[in-house]
Amino acid sequence: MSNITLHTLTGLKQAGKKFTVLTAYDSTFAHLISSVGIEMILVGDSLGMVLQGQQSTLPVTLEEMVYHTTSVARGNQGAMIMADLPFMSYATPEQCMASSARLMQAGAHLVKLEGGSWLAESIQLLADRGVPVCAHLGLTPQAVNKLGGYRVQGKDKASALQMIEDARQLEEAGASMLLLECVPSLLGEEITRNVSIPVIGIGAGPHTDAQVLVLHDMLGITPGRRPRFSRDFMQQAVSIEDAIRQYDAAVKAVTFPSPEESF
């Protein structure tokens, strides 16, 4: 496929068409995922849990994210690559710029960071310097200790209104994209409708502009219980490639996520 850009994804949102995101951490899966036609690859700090066996994403280092981003970039066949800034690698605007430069030089096309309106200054600095940013709202796994676990966010009116305001401020600051994790479907729909930038959902209902899943969840190989918002696409597939194609098709047909896979 031709190279996917921010212009491509914004155009899909404007046309009311969905796009698909999937995690990858190495060259082989990056090649397969992008060859199938998945528009965006996320090099997630989820690698701490699914590759390293950590209890959270917090131990993941910037050096590890650079290594895996470089590996993914080598195998990529035209998808847009988004890379996570890991825990405490963007605590100040200056640190955020330095960390983002490392990931962009490793092959990322976009960096993702977790947090609300406090990130506006950092996002504006990055945007002004040509670094596209995805702001991650809702359940932010790097703040799991403060949140008291992996819980749905935005369930009450006050926190929902705050998230809507955060989304507005971060778009205004220059965010190119939003990611919503574990929020009620109605809130996911409202935020998606009220911003002009693409919104990716994971456990945020079917109305966001795109869906993302962790590769290992989608293939049904994550140890323990799978998250409610995921689906094992290998159950009806004849190969890994077929499972990825089924995921892509389900997102674009808006049959994933189902009400049972939403909040």
Q: Is 146 annotated as a binding residue?
A: no
Q: Is 189 annotated as a binding residue?
A: no
- Bridge partners of 135, per DSSP, are 113, 178
Q: Is 209 annotated as a binding residue?
A: no
Cis peptide upstream of residue 93 (ω within 30 degrees of 0): no
Residue 181 appears among annotated catalytic residues: yes
Query: Which of 96-121 are b and which e, b meaning 16 or more Cβ less than 10 Å from the residue's Cβ?
Result: beebbebbbebbbbbbbbbbbbebbe
Could you tell me the CA-to-CA distances from 111 to 26, 196, 258 in Å, in that order? 17, 19, 29
Q: Is 45 annotated as a binding residue?
A: yes
Specify whether the CB–CB gap between 21 and 212 falls below 8 A: yes
Residues 6 or more apart in contact with residue 172 via CB below 8 angstroms: 120
Of the listed 39, 171, 181, 190, which one is catalytic? Answer: 181
Q: Is 84 annotated as a binding residue?
A: yes
Burial of 70 (0-12, 13-18, 19+ CB in 10 A): middle
Cα–Cα distance, 230 to 261 (Å, whole number): 7
Q: Which residues are annotated as a binding site for Mg(2+)?
A: 45, 84, 114
Q: Which residues are annotated as a binding site for 3-methyl-2-oxobutanoate?
A: 45-46, 84, 112
Q: Which residues are annotated as a binding site?
A: 45-46, 84, 112, 114
Q: Tell me which residues are annotated as active site.
A: 181
